[in-house]
Amino acid sequence: MNEAVVLALAYVSDGYSQVEASERTGVPLPDLRRAIEAYADAAVAQSGHSADSTAREQSAGPTVPTVAGLEADRRVFVTLASTYRPRPVRWLWTDRVPEGAITLLAGREGIGKSLITVNRAAALTRGTLNGSRYGRPSRVLFATSEDAWEFTMVPRLLAADADLDAVGRVQVDDRGIVTGLTLPVDVLSLKQYVRAADVALLVLDPLTSVMDGALDHHRDREVRVALEPLARLAEETGCAVVGLVHLGKSTSTDPVNLILGSRAFSAVARVALVAARDPDEDDGSCVLSVEKSNLGRLDMPALTYRVDGAEVMTDEGTASAGLLVWTGETERRVRDIMAGPEEEGHAVRDEAADWLRGYLADNGGEAAFSDLSKAARANGHAERTLRRAARRAGVVITSSGFPRRTVWQLETVSQQSRRPSLTLISGHRDSGDAPSGGADE
């Protein structure tokens, strides 16, 4: 049974009429009807009933349930909550990427989303990713459609110090033709490999590239046809799935709402990480923050990073690659950056920076944010303005404990780091570990 017919059956099973399924997939209606009949015959044969005995059962009692024209042994059943064993959430990357669930990594183009996944994957292959697999080097799979492996992916992985023997590229052999992964058609085969190879992380870059071309990314029902089987794969194997998605160019106080396509993307995903460039920084620094989490905390500090250039030595000469470098933490989340331009200008922000430096100096160089914010409001400085002024004022923000306690402190000149323009790599090196809170220690 080819992919188009399988997809058409999925449409029918999901409530579409046979005509609609035929139009959406290009499968001729007679072929679809024959496939439905074959599906029903297989279901009856699997249940051990003959056609005659099935007919007798139907005449003697309730008919076998049907769902949108697909006859099968489909019945409602109830499982009591007491039969489930409660379990804690296991985090592949502590408090940011859970095992057994879909995580979205969202951002606009050119923000380094792919490099984030390469960096985390590299740490995972070396057993240095802070989380459930720390100390246990693990396998990672990438399904990519936008980057060439010889010229882009492998140099990036080498620059990040990944174990290449633990990184795999997912493709499909369709009757001798090599093609890309397609959801939901290839979920079963993919699940078998993920389970057999104990794959810890599956990266889909971008997520929409692995969805069947007949699916409309803007329709909730059709997006769920692809993503819900993928979510079940994650849950049943324990593999963490990270899907890269793009953001629109609008402004919003909730960046998750800017994810292009159907809202089903963010609904099915359990966690959404969002990356954005910090407009207040002149060196291209970016921020990565948790903007949705159904499984953990939302008060995680955001991480800051930059993208450097790197050169990797190969058998044929030097190859260039992007290299992600973690630079610290910040209390300023992506939602603060994307909320739109502020009404106040630079003069107001500079005034807030001057006040902030003075307040911290008067308090021994540091203060708890709870006390600081109260004093700022009393002096007419909005919290958001204060956050934007923090870096201008030379302030370092750290968070620790649970519940988290955030401290703002003045940064000395000797602590300020300079940005290298190019890194030459000829062998294994430090992969640019994330700061505390997401550290690879």
Q: Hey, where are the domains in the chain?
A: 3-81, 91-337+420-425, 341-410
Report, as an integer, the average pLDDT of 401-430. 55
For 301, residues 6+ apart whose C-beta sits below 8 A from its C-beta are: 329, 330, 331, 397, 399, 404, 406, 437
**Residue 252 pLDDT > 80:** no
Q: Where residue 434 falls among pLDDT bands split at 50, 70, 90?
A: low
**Residue 426 pLDDT > 60:** no
**Separation of alpha carbons 44 and 420, rounded Å:** 67
CB-CB contact of 147 with 114 (8 Å): yes
Place of tokens 């160019």: 249
Q: Where residue 124 falls among pLDDT bands split at 50, 70, 90?
A: very high
For 202, residues 6+ apart whose C-beta sits below 8 A from its C-beta are: 140, 141, 143, 170, 194, 234, 239, 240, 241, 242
Tokens standing for 85? Answer: 């064993």
pLDDT at 53: 44
Report, as an integer, the average pLDDT of 336-341. 72
Orientation of helix 383-390 relative to helix 346-362, angle to 10°: 80
pLDDT at 424: 52
pLDDT at 23: 73
For 209, residues 6+ apart whose C-beta sits below 8 A from its C-beta are: 143, 144, 145, 146, 180
Report, as an integer, the average pLDDT of 142-165. 93
pLDDT at 24: 73
Orientation of helix 187-197 relative to helix 220-237, angle to 10°: 20
pLDDT at 412: 58
pLDDT at 50: 43
**Residue 406 pLDDT > 60:** yes
For 212, residues 6+ apart whose C-beta sits below 8 A from its C-beta are: 3, 7, 182, 183, 184, 185, 225, 226
Q: What is the pLDDT of residues 103-113, one digit of tens each?
A: 999 999 999 99
Place of tokens 């995903």: 269
Q: Which residue would you say has higher pLDDT here, 285 or 39?
A: 285
3-state SS assignment for residue 243: strand
Q: Which residue would you say has higher pLDDT here, 8 or 297?
A: 297
Domain 91-337+420-425 has CATH 3.40.50.300: yes
To the nearest whole number, what is the mean pLDDT of the chain? 82
Report, as an integer, the average pLDDT of 429-435. 50
Q: Where residue 45 falls among pLDDT bands split at 50, 70, 90?
A: low
Q: Which range (15-24, 64-73, 291-300) has the least confidence?
A: 64-73
Burial class from Cβ neighbours inside 10 Å (0-12, 13-18, 19+) for residue 252 reads middle
Q: What is the pLDDT of residues 231-242, one digit of tens each?
A: 999 999 999 999
Tokens standing for 285? Answer: 């620094």
**Residue 244 pLDDT > 50:** yes
Model-level pTM greater than 0.85? no
Q: Which range (78-87, 354-363, 387-396) has the least confidence?
A: 387-396
**Separation of alpha carbons 390 and 188, rounded Å:** 50
pLDDT at 381: 82
**Separation of alpha carbons 293 and 329, rounded Å:** 19
- φ, ψ dihedrals at 432, nearest 5°: 80, 65
Report, as an integer, the average pLDDT of 348-373. 86
Highest mean pLDDT among 75-84, 187-196, 334-343, 422-431: 187-196
Q: What percent of the chain has pLDDT over 70?
A: 81
**Residue 357 pLDDT > 60:** yes
Report, as an integer, the average pLDDT of 299-327. 92
**Residue 403 pLDDT > 80:** no
pLDDT at 17: 79
pLDDT at 64: 36
Q: Which residue would you say has higher pLDDT here, 18 or 141?
A: 141
CA 143 distance to own-chain centroid = 13
CATH fold of the domain at 341-410: Arc Repressor Mutant, subunit A (1.10.10)
Q: What is the pLDDT of residues 74-112, one digit of tens each?
A: 688 899 999 999 999 999 999 999 999 999 999 999 999
Q: Where residue 14 falls among pLDDT bands split at 50, 70, 90?
A: low
Report, as an integer, the average pLDDT of 422-436. 48
91-337+420-425 and 341-410 have identical folds: no
pLDDT at 168: 97
